[in-house]
Amino acid sequence: MKPIITALALCLCIAFSTKAQTVQPFKQGDRVVFVGNSITDGGHYHAYIWLYYMTHYPARRITCFNAGIGGDVIEQIADRFDYDVLSKKPTVLTLTWGMNDSGYFEWYRKDAQQFMDDRLAKSYETYSKLEDRLKGMPNIRKILIGGSPYDETTKFSTKNYYPGKSAQLARIVAHQEQSAKNNHWEFVDFYHPMDAINKREQARDTAFSLTPNDRIHPDNNGHLVMAYLFLKSQGLANNVVADVAVNVANKKVEKAVNSSVSNVALANNGVSFNYLAKSLPYPLDTLPRGWGSRFPQSDALKLVPFMKEFNQETLTVKNLKSGTYDLLIDGERMKSFTASQLSSGINMAEIPNTPQYQQAIQIRELNEERWDIERRIRMYVWVEYDFLKGKNLLHNDSNAALDSVKKYSAKDIFLNANKDTYTRARYATLRDAWQQEMAVLIDKIYAINKPVVHKIELVPSK
């Protein structure tokens, strides 16, 4: 009985944590800068959030920016704030920090807790100065994010185990939440709901983790969980893609939520009508994306009710004669359903070969291409601030800077990982071209993301 009670308690914890938050949805024209460390830098949660807006609100154009750098503590974030954050002219700014401030190998010192508490006091001092700066920027909405957890409890490996780090990170999240309350800023909690998911799943599988490579970095499924929590905090759950109900007995459209239905016609024991949704289904990715990723975005469906809350394109057709019917859209067969299934309602967002889903996939792939280009720019900024600044070569990008990168990359695995990108990105003309390429991709997304009218037919299966 105990495991069942524990699982239910964890589910309630997740529900309470997300329900309690209130963050305003993004509006037309918003420029949203996501500021953080490597989980933002190399991660997908912001791209997944933007993809939801691209597909669900096709006429509400926003722009999202990645302003994460791997390895950053709050002092480094504050140091690059003008160049890397404010230069993007944000109307909305999200800020998450703490994974690196809460230490790693330091937890094996004899005086670990005192040492880390002293370090954290300095982090709080730096954050306080940044907080004061943000108070003086009333035209920027501030959203603090309590970051994803360090998984201290998983048994998938003994590596990267730092006893004490998880509790220290929880203290930082509490500090951030209090800061948001004090300043009347918005706050999104990733930490506690994701920690609850980890513990819930580990009750069944001790090797489970949302951070399966190193206890620190969420995989693609974890990033969709983060996007889910963020969108839920914005009150966007249960905003349907569409919800249509047609009664064959009287040819009446009984429901058309976020959609319109016209020209209902009966023929050959079936029904047809024109259908226009005002949103597109969310195109879940079934491939692992990004360096070192092992799990696709779609694996998150096992962990959170994303489909139920954010991806419902419901079609209900009542009073068909009993039997099996082929669903045709624009003359092409999609899938077969019984009259009973259609009377109860089907979710067309679960059918990836519909023309509307195929339209959404194109948007997803364009967004992934944009994400990939933006990652190159993030790698360049990492080299600038995490290496060249320490060599007094910040924004130098000369041959001397390149020589220094090549020299030290032999012994620095992180620098070596970014070296090849830096050799190209140090040229401003190439960075400008990448920015232009991203702009073209975003323009294309907002040109093709408008839903179109489709003809839906239900005909008896042969």
Alpha-carbon distances of 290 from 67, 237, 295, 422, 437, rounded to whole Å: 17, 27, 10, 18, 20
Coil/strand/helix, residue 60: coil
Confidence at residue 21, expressed as pLDDT on a 0 to 100 scale = 57
CB 240 within 8 A of CB 313: yes
Which whole number is the average pLDDT over 24-44? 97
First to last CA, the chain: 50
User: How big is the chain by its Cα radius of gyration, in Å?
Assistant: 25
Residue type, 392: N
Angle between helices 2-19 and 191-202 (to 10 degrees): 160
Which whole number is the average pLDDT over 76-98? 98
Confidence at residue 16, expressed as pLDDT on a 0 to 100 scale = 41
| pLDDT tens sequence across 357-398 | 999 999 999 999 999 999 999 999 999 999 999 999 999 999
Which whole number is the average pLDDT over 101-130? 97
Backbone angles phi, psi at 14, to 5 degrees: -65, -45
Residue 7 has pLDDT above 50, yes or no: no
| Cα–Cα nearest to 39, from 6, 78, 72 | 72
Domains of the chain as residue ranges with CATH:
2-233 (3.40.50.1110), 242-278+312-462 (no CATH)
| Cα–Cα nearest to 306, from 406, 376, 224, 380 | 224
Angle between helices 45-56 and 220-233 (to 10 degrees): 60
Q: What pairing do the DSSP bridges indicate for beta strands 252-257 and 92-95?
A: unpaired
| Cα–Cα nearest to 96, from 149, 30, 140, 20 | 149
- Give just the sign of the alpha carbon dihedral 447, 448, 449, 454: positive
Confidence at residue 1, expressed as pLDDT on a 0 to 100 scale = 36
pLDDT band of 8, cuts 50, 70, 90: very low
Residue 15 has pLDDT above 80, yes or no: no
pLDDT band of 268, cuts 50, 70, 90: confident
Confidence at residue 291, expressed as pLDDT on a 0 to 100 scale = 83
Coil/strand/helix, residue 335: strand
Residue 11 has pLDDT above 90, yes or no: no
| pLDDT tens sequence across 74-86 | 999 999 999 999 9
Residue 309 has pLDDT above 70, yes or no: yes
Residues making up the chain, counted from first to last: 462
216 token code pair? 């620190």
> What is the overall mean pLDDT for the chain?
95
Q: How far apart are CA 81 and CA 90, in angstroms?
A: 12
| Cα–Cα nearest to 382, from 42, 50, 1 | 42
Q: How far apart are CA 171 and CA 165, in angstroms?
A: 10
| pLDDT tens sequence across 210-221 | 999 999 999 999
Coil/strand/helix, residue 78: helix
Which whole number is the average pLDDT over 399-416? 96
Q: How far apart are CA 62 and CA 448, in angstroms?
A: 15
Confidence at residue 151, expressed as pLDDT on a 0 to 100 scale = 98
Q: How far apart are CA 173 and CA 414, in angstroms?
A: 27
- Partnered with residue 188 across adjacent β-strands are 145
DSSP 27: -
Whole-number percent of the chain with pLDDT over 70: 95
Backbone angles phi, psi at 165, to 5 degrees: -65, -40
Confidence at residue 292, expressed as pLDDT on a 0 to 100 scale = 85
412 token code pair? 């620095």
Residue 2 has pLDDT above 70, yes or no: no
- Partnered with residue 167 across adjacent β-strands are none
